[in-house]
């Protein structure tokens, strides 16, 4: 079977994916001003360093570039080429240390690499696919520096947390501000890991660093324990997290909770998982098994564009793993 050409990869895979999540494909026209474009992917957009395969435009502004390669080419190293195009965009008011757009992608239609160019310490990373227009717009509105300043200006002094628990929260926040995306906290049984994570989730939401957080566990009993912690732990004096932010979970039975525990879990509305909007800020607690069902149901029942939106618009900003013993 002959190898797929770059043009075939673009038509069969890349352009289909862009259109499925809300980007409208259009050829470049010199006579058309950028202000006439909204959620468009402009093909062969000219830069001073040559034409880039696709320029993603939102409200008349180029916010991302896409460099495409044929299926048989690994796209990771191609990101350097996208960086060069990002330096050559002329119709831009932005300048991030020489880069004139916010985001870049490189892809062969199956593997996707992405980089946020706004921070000098940003690292490229592999992602599951293109972001939707709404997801990119939400990322544009996020000021990581302001979030880090909030962490510094509001140190964790929670009276119910022990010093080592506060140290754990501080370490996570320091790592976030250093540009890291994955952290693992290893804590032994009985050391209060659930309260550590509830405290951390509140601070992530309060600082606006995160809006949608998935609290994933491997057993229903642990999910019920987490729901109870959200319902009882005061994140500030006289204030529980669910009084400020929405906290949802999978369905439970009364027997999943210990005797005397409050039994009032709030089941997540389906639309929060299948079509989250930029303004939605919430926590979702569930088991790995339940989340697998959610994702499978999305693949089978939802329209392709809605399924893709579900997968792209509910980002997992951080990965937490806990050990039950040391």
Per-residue tokens: 206: 């309060």
pLDDT at 278 (0 to 100): 72
Alpha-carbon gap, residue 228 to 66, rounded angstroms: 45
CB 53 within 8 A of CB 162: no
pTM attached to this predicted model: 0.81
What's the fold here for domain 6-140? tt1808, chain A (3.90.1570)
In the chain, domain spans: 6-140, 144-313
Looking at domain 144-313, its CATH class is alpha beta
Q: Is the Cα dihedral 97, 99, 105, 107 positive or negative?
A: negative
Per-residue pLDDT tens over the stretch 257-288? 666 555 567 888 888 877 777 778 899 999 99
pLDDT on residue 320: 45
- Looking at residue 245, what is its pLDDT? 92
pLDDT for the residue numbered 259: 60
Question: Which tokens go with 115?
Answer: 């980089």
pLDDT of amino acid 276? 73
DSSP β-ladder status, 112-116 and 125-127: antiparallel
Assign 272 to helix, strand or coil.
helix
- Amino acid 165: pLDDT: 96
At 26, phi and psi to the nearest 5? -150, 145
pLDDT value of residue 50 = 96
Please tell me the distance from the alpha carbon of residue 20 to that of residue 304, in angstroms, as a whole number: 7
Q: What is the pLDDT of residues 24-42, one digit of tens each?
A: 999 999 888 899 899 999 9
Between helix 133-140 and helix 304-313 the angle, nearest 10°, is 20
- Residue-level pLDDT at 274: 75
Supply φ then ψ for residue 41, to 5 degrees: -110, 105
Q: Smallest Cα–Cα separation from 160: which of 234, 243, 262, 241?
A: 234
Low-confidence ranges of the chain (pLDDT < 50): 300-326
């Amino acid at each position: 079977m002959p190898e797929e050409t770059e043009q075939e990869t673009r038509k069969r895979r890349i352009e289909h994916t862009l259109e499925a999540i809300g980007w409208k494909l259009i050829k470049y026209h010199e006579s058309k001003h950028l202000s006439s474009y909204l959620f468009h992917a402009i093909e062969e957009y000219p830069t001073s360093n040559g034409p880039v395969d696709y320029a993603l435009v939102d409200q008349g502004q180029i916010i991302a570039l896409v460099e495409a390669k044929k299926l048989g080419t690994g796209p990771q190293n191609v990101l350097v080429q996208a960086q060069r195009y990002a330096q050559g965009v002329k119709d831009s008011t932005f300048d991030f240390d020489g880069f004139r757009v916010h985001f870049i992608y490189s892809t062969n239609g199956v593997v996707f690499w992405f980089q946020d160019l706004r921070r000098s310490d940003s690292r490229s990373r592999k992602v599951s696919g293109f972001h939707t227009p709404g997801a990119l717009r939400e990322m544009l509105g996020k000021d990581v520096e302001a979030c880090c300043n909030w962490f510094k200006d509001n140190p964790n002094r929670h009276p119910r947390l022990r010093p080592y628990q506060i140290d754990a929260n501080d370490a996570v926040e320091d790592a976030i501000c250093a540009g890291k995306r994955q952290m693992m906290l290893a804590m032994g049984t009985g050391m209060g890991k659930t309260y550590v994570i509830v405290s951390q989730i509140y601070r992530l939401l309060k600082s606006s660093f995160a809006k949608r957080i998935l609290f994933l566990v491997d057993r229903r009993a642990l999910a019920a324990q987490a729901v109870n912690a959200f319902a009882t732990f005061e994140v500030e004096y006289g204030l529980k997290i669910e009084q400020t932010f929405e906290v949802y979970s999978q369905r439970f039975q009364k027997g999943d909770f210990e005797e005397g525990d409050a039994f009032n879990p709030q089941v997540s509305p389906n639309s929060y998982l299948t079509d989250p909007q930029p303004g939605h800020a919430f926590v979702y607690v569930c088991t790995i098994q339940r989340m697998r069902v959610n994702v499978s149901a999305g693949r089978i029942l939802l329209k392709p564009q809605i399924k893709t939106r579900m997968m792209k618009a509910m980002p997992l900003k951080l990965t937490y793993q806990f050990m039950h013993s040391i």
